[in-house]
Amino acid sequence: MLSGQDVRTLLGRRIQFYRKQRQFSQAVLAEKADISITFLSKIERGIRYPTPDTLSGIANGLEVELCDLFRQDGMPADHQNMLDRLQNDVIKTVETIFKAYKE
């Protein structure tokens, strides 16, 4: 089973992968996600974990689905299942936040 640190590390690596794939600097992605470069750097290194709003901003800035930030090719099925559950929890949290915000 993945620890919280494992999830932060995986997420950070995926964000960095997509950022480099798109040839974005940390400054460009940080601006698109409306966060500081320092915070983005800490997320990419697995030191900090973003809020659902920040995750959404990063995914939008990278032009990927939120779930893509949690996928890893060749991951054991039990790890992928855990990440799928985590993704669902994040999506539900974001939906709850947006719903409360609209009211």
Domain boundaries defined on the chain = 4-102
How does pLDDT run across 29-81, given as a tens digit for each residue? 999 999 999 999 999 999 998 998 999 999 999 999 888 888 766 555 556 66
Tell me which H or E stretch contains 38: helix 37-44
Nearest in space to 27 (alpha carbons), one of 47, 41, 15: 41
What is the C-alpha separation between 25 and 19, in angstroms, rounded? 7
What is the C-alpha separation between 82 and 32, in angstroms, rounded? 29
Q: Is the pLDDT of residue 1 over 90?
A: no
CA distances from 56 to 3, 8, 28, 47, 103 (A): 22, 15, 16, 18, 20
Q: Give the CATH architecture of domain 4-102.
A: Orthogonal Bundle (1.10)
Name the residue with higher pLDDT: 79 or 97: 97
